[in-house]
Amino acid sequence: MQFAVLMGFVLAASSPLLNRWFGERTSLLLALFPALLAGWLFSQAPLVLSDGPQLLEWSWVPSLGISLSFLLDGLSLLFGLLITVIGTCVLVYAGGYLKGHQDIARFHLALVAFMASMLGLVLADGLLTLFIFWELTSITSYLLIGFNHTDIEARKSARQGLFVTVAGGLALMAGLVLLGIASGSWSLSEILQSDDDLRQHALYAPMLICLLLGAFTKSAQFPFHFWLPNAMAAPTPVSAYLHSATMVKAGIYLLARLQPELGGTAMWVTILSVVGATTMLTGAFLAIHHTNIKKLLAYSTIMALGTLTMLLGIGSEYAMTAFVTFLLAHSMYKGALFMVAGILDHETGTKDVTAMGGLRSVMPVTAVIAFVAALSLAGVPPLFGFIGKELMLEAALGAERVQLLLVLFAFLAAILTIAVAAIIALRPFYGARHETPQIPHEAPLSMLIGPGLLAFGSLALGLAPAVLGADALLTSAATAVAGETLPVSLSLWYGVNVALIMSVVSLIFGFLLFKRWDSVRAQLARLAPVMRHGPEAGYEGLMNGVVRFSEWQTRLLQNGYMRNYILVMLVVLIALIGNSILLRHSPQLALSLDVRFHEVIVVGTMAMGALFATISRSRLGAVVSVGIMGFSIALIFILFSAPDLGITQLLVETMTVILLVLVLFRLPRFSNLSTNLERIRDGAVAATMGVLIFLLIITAWSIDQFESISTYMVENSAPLAYGRNIVNVILVDYRALDTLGEMFVLALAAIGVIAMLKLRHGETEGKATDSDKASVKEPYDG
Amino acid sequence: MVKSGTIILNTAARFLMPLQLMFSVFLLLRGHDEPGGGFIAGLVAAGAFTLYLFAFGVSATKEVLRMVDPRDLIGAGLFFGMISVVPAWFMGQPFLTAQWWTIPVIDFKASTPLIFDIGVYLAVLGSVMGMVMALMEVDKDEP
């Protein structure tokens, strides 16, 4: 499985090549990947259902206890199947939707990478693994929302989505670290199996708040919901996949995953129920403001995400059953509806439902698919969505806390959702024909298979949940969420009860609302001035504040003068090192004067070089004297029999002198810019730094905190690492990971230098250097 | 522009560069047992090209490099560094565990640390050459 997920990333990376080879068939080819994975997951299902959670271990860095382990239980199986099955549909669909698009390779790359990240996220067993995949989904989502990168709105929306989810990701990381500390384990399966009650732990409240922030931002809960409708700037296959069926459910997944260990407290129940119910109503209410079909669907997705959070908050057995059922139902019909929206947009050239009408006769298949999926959204029997809604209402009725609020909100949201469903299913397809920007045709087969499959899946699962294995799958998922065995047995008919009556009443009201939608919308338009002060305004204000702050601090600390940078860095270093040395250690001057004559000569040469470099009035002279210092250091290395270090030092010194000589040509004439006072200040800072470094070396030398590992390295380098040169063995074997990191640092630094030089190069070639001068502001000294 | 034009430097550079490059490969290969290694060898190779650069200028050096952009060398270096990580996975060991193979005929020790060191060599060579050539190119346009 790990291999499959990693293969996903390899496949993503090779998609440009595949596109070159296979052209338009690439989408179908790539769709094989999730299809095969779905097959594998199906084949594992009986094992998970009979034997319980499967742990697929793959050791990564065993000495640090880091492993790439995957946990396959009912919950991750359900999510994994959603990701792979809907992923297959979406890839096939995208092949038709983006047919002939010049950047389709980039689209495939990001989408397949997202798919692999999302699978990793729901399968991860390690907390940190989960976090890494979590962030990967944020990044790939950013790339996908901003796919049409020439559109400024798309870029802005992509950035907004990224900032909101990544800010939440930071909180999530803090929450996961707290969870790891509190439970003493970094593996989800161990945490879930342990007997410790984390609810009593002192860190419970901060941990829960951090985790909830992460989950709420990702899953677009109120007041972070605003990024999701904006994310509709993405191509429709992306909206269908990421922003309805999978990624936005990652937060919900995390909550469901942790529910057995953290759920059930007053804090959990209150926050989740209230936030969930508020999100549910906000989403449903804001939906009917919009005539853009994708925005309608986006707000209705927010409503569904709120419902799922609320159900997790309620936490009763009914709520857990409702949670898994609603999750499955929603992913299916919402995925189908988004793809229908894409077909409408693709064929008519508009997203505005009021501009469409009477399309039933030209697009009969699309109309049927839309109708079936919308029935499921509205919760009309015998569709699967009906079972989900019924259970949801039942769970709200049985809530222990804030029951009245939940029932009221759920009822109102149900009415509004039915109106939304009717708008999407009826408005474009019935009534009089409108002129649309393009003449509509029935969509190609590739675009109909995906939504058709999902829509009729909703119908089939509603008619025969037990036969098709939904009962077994959902039992296993609900068991994972509840933490104890919870048999699920779905049926369309639970007898006449309050929930059914509410359902029927909401259907009537919802349909009336649909009939009067145009006038209701006109009334709602008057609310616009109030709506402008929503959470999104807060986000904008915050972002502007951050930009202003960074402008201010850049002007203060990074004004473009090297001397200023060095001053700031040295002062900070002095504060940090001085603080640590003076407070924690008392340096002892235990000097022995057992030095050789030639050592004194070398050190004296270095001191002379340093002195001359500071007082020299010629740049070349200063460079040469700094060079003398460097070569003397090399000499010291050789004197203390470290030939490798000596050679390295010599070569580095040579290259430094060459680079400096090249740079010298470009510098302005040597002149004296500092006042005497500034020179005294700089001198004092430099002298303090020198003294501190001296103290640091003395302290480090006199304190023996750890046993030296050099003997181990010397003894083992030949027998274990097959090398006699210990320096090299350390670099490429013992500490190869550090070297690998340094290689990347070196590469980044080189690319940075090249980029800056080329950028200046380009500027001088093109426009005049006026802009160049203007960009370097001169706050003080000329 | 830095171009010496002296006969001695030009002639010396022409002969020294191949020698320096061979020496750098020698340093790279023997690095595991004797003083040397990828970093040092990379710097020596960069020194060789820089000498040539000083003697003959940017465009002549580019011809010598034969269409190989130093920036590509950086990428190639990182690539070698990364793939040397992988073989341990297939042996069921934690990643980065060194693997050793002996090539029978020439009795040469091939290993992932050597691949890794080649990566270091290329990354160092590419980085230094990239910076030096970028600097030289900027100089060329100065009046």
DSSP states along A588-639? ---------HHHHHHHHHHHHHHHHHHH-SSHHHHHHHHHHHHHHHHHHHHH
CA distance A32 to B128: 44
pLDDT per residue as tens digits for the range A472-488? 888 888 888 888 887 87
Query: In this complex, which of B32, B119, B137 lies closest to A723 when CB atoms are compared?
Result: B32
Q: How far apart are CA A286 and CA A388, in angstroms?
A: 22
pLDDT at B25 over 50: yes
- The reply to whether residue A754 touches residue B82, judged by beta carbons under 8 angstroms, is no
Distances (CA, A) of A754 to A603, B43, B130: 36, 18, 7
Residue B124 CA to residue B134 CA, distance in Å, equals 15
Contact A63 B33 (CB under 8 A): no
Is A13's pLDDT higher than 90? no
Q: How far apart are CA A20 and CA A11, in angstroms?
A: 14
Distance from CA of B27 to the nearest CA of A (A): 11
Q: Does A572 touch chain B (CB under 8 A)?
A: no
Which one has a higher pLDDT value, A583 or A134? A134
Gap between the Cα atoms of A351 and A229, Å rounded: 14
- A57, A728, A744, A765: best to mutate for the B interface, most B CBs within 10 A: A728
Cβ–Cβ gap A722/B109 under 8 Å: yes
Which site among A660, A662, A756 would you substitute to test the B interface, given the most B Cβ atoms closer than 10 Å to its Cβ?
Answer: A662
Per-residue pLDDT at A779: 36
User: From the DSSP assignment, how many helices (H) and strands (E) are in chain A?
Assistant: 32, 4
Which ipTM was obtained for this model? 0.88
Q: Is-contact A376 A332, C-beta < 8 A?
A: yes
Residue type, A617: R
Checking if the pLDDT of A350 tops 80, the result is yes
Task: Out of A658, A665, A728, name the one closest to residue B31 (CB).
Answer: A728
**What does the pLDDT look like over A94-110, one tens digit per residue?**
988 888 888 888 899 99
Q: Between A573 and A711, whose confidence is greater?
A: A573
Give the whole-angstrom CA distance, residue A584 versus residue A549.
34
- Grade residue A773 by pLDDT with cuts at 50, 70 and 90: very low
Strand partners, A67: A59
The neighbour count for residue A135, using CB atoms within 10 Å, is: 18
Whether residues A743 and B117 touch (CB distance < 8 A) is answered with no
According to the model, what pLDDT value does residue A763 have?
A: 53
pLDDT at position A179 is: 92
Instruction: Tell me which range, A159-168, A257-266, A350-359, is most confidently predicted by mean pLDDT.
Output: A159-168
| pLDDT tens readout for residues A127-163 | 888 999 999 999 999 999 999 888 888 999 999 999 9
What pairs with residue B109 in β-bridges? B102
What pLDDT is stored for residue A705 in this prediction? 67
Note whether A743 contacts B77, CB cutoff 8 Å: yes
User: CB distance from A662 to chain B under 8 Å?
Assistant: yes
Picking from A727, A733, A757, the nearest residue to B138 by CB comes out as: A757
A644 and B142 within 8 Å at the Cβ level: the answer is: no
**A5: closest CA of chain B, how far (Å):** 15
Query: Between these two residues, A558 and A782, which has the higher pLDDT value?
Result: A558
Distance between A647 CA and the closest CA of chain B, angstroms = 7
- Rg of chain A over Cα atoms, rounded to whole angstroms, equals 32
State the pLDDT at residue A164. 92
Are the beta carbons of A477 and A252 closer than 8 angstroms?
no
Q: Please report residues of B whose CB lies closer than 8 A to that of A644.
A: 35-37, 40
Q: What percent of chain B has pLDDT over 90?
A: 21
pLDDT tens-place string over residues B109-119: 778 888 888 99
Asked whether the predicted pLDDT for residue A466 surpasses 90, the reply is no
- % of chain A with per-residue pLDDT over 90: 28
Chain A, 759 to 778: residues with Cβ < 8 Å from chain B are: 760-761, 764-765
CB contacts of B141 in chain A (<8 Å) are 761, 764-765
Among all residues of chain A, which has the CA nearest to that of B92? A59
Q: What is the CA radius of gyration of chain B?
A: 18
CB A651 within 8 A of CB B44: yes
Q: What percent of chain A has pLDDT over 70?
A: 95
The 3-state DSSP class for residue A466 equals coil
Distance CA A155, CA A87 (A): 24
Nearest CB to B40; choose among A651, A750, A751: A651
Which alpha helices (DSSP H) does A23-103 contain, by range?
26-51, 74-97
Task: Compute φ and ψ for A587, nearest 5 degrees.
Answer: -60, 135
**A608 pLDDT above the threshold of 50:** yes
Average pLDDT over residues A237-248: 88
Q: Chain B residues with CB inside 8 Å of A647's CB? A: 35-36, 40
Return d(Cα A457, Cα A468) in angstroms, integer.
10
CA distances in angstroms from A203 to A179, A181, A191, B38, listed in the order given: 8, 9, 15, 48
Q: How many residues does chain A have?
A: 782
Band (pLDDT 50/70/90 cuts) for residue A768 is very low
CB contact under 8 A, A736 and B116: yes
Which chain B positions have a beta carbon within 8 Å of A746's beta carbon? 123-124, 127
**Residue B26 burial (10 A CB sphere; 0-12, 13-18, 19+):** middle
Q: How many CB pairs under 8 A join A and B?
A: 150
Q: Of the candidates A60, A658, A659, which has its C-beta nearest B95's C-beta?
A: A60
Q: Is there a contact between B123 and A746 if contact means CB atoms under 8 Å apart?
A: yes
Q: What is the 3-state secondary structure (H, E, C) of chain B?
A: CCCCCCHHHHHHHHHHHHHHHHHHHHHHHHCCCCCCCHHHHHHHHHHHHHHHHHHHCHHHHHHHHCCCCHHHHHHHHHHHHHHCCCHHHHCCCCCCCCCEEEECCCCEEEEHHHHHHHHHHHHHHHHHHHHHHHHHHHHHHCC
Whether residue A13 lies within 8 A of chain B, CB to CB, comes out as no
Average predicted confidence (pLDDT) for chain A? 85
Mutation for A interface: B79, B93, B112, B120, most A CBs within 10 A: B120
Q: Cα–Cα distance between A743 and A353 in angstroms, integer?
A: 55
Per-residue pLDDT band for B5 (boundaries 50, 70, 90) equals: low
Asked if pLDDT for residue A780 goes beyond 60, the answer is: no
Between these two residues, A231 and B93, which has the higher pLDDT value?
A231
pTM value > 0.95: no
Question: Mind listing the pLDDT tens digit for each residue in A69-91?
Answer: 888 888 999 999 999 999 999 99
Please give the average per-residue pLDDT across A437-461, as a whole number.
87
Note the pLDDT of residue A772.
40
Interchain pair A732, B96: CB under 8 A = no
Distance from CA of A732 to the nearest CA of B (A): 5
Residues of B in contact with A740 (CB under 8 A): 81-82, 85, 96, 116
The backbone torsions φ and ψ at residue A434, rounded to the nearest 5 degrees and listed phi first, read -110, 155
Residue-level pLDDT at A769: 39
pLDDT of residue A558 exceeding 80: no
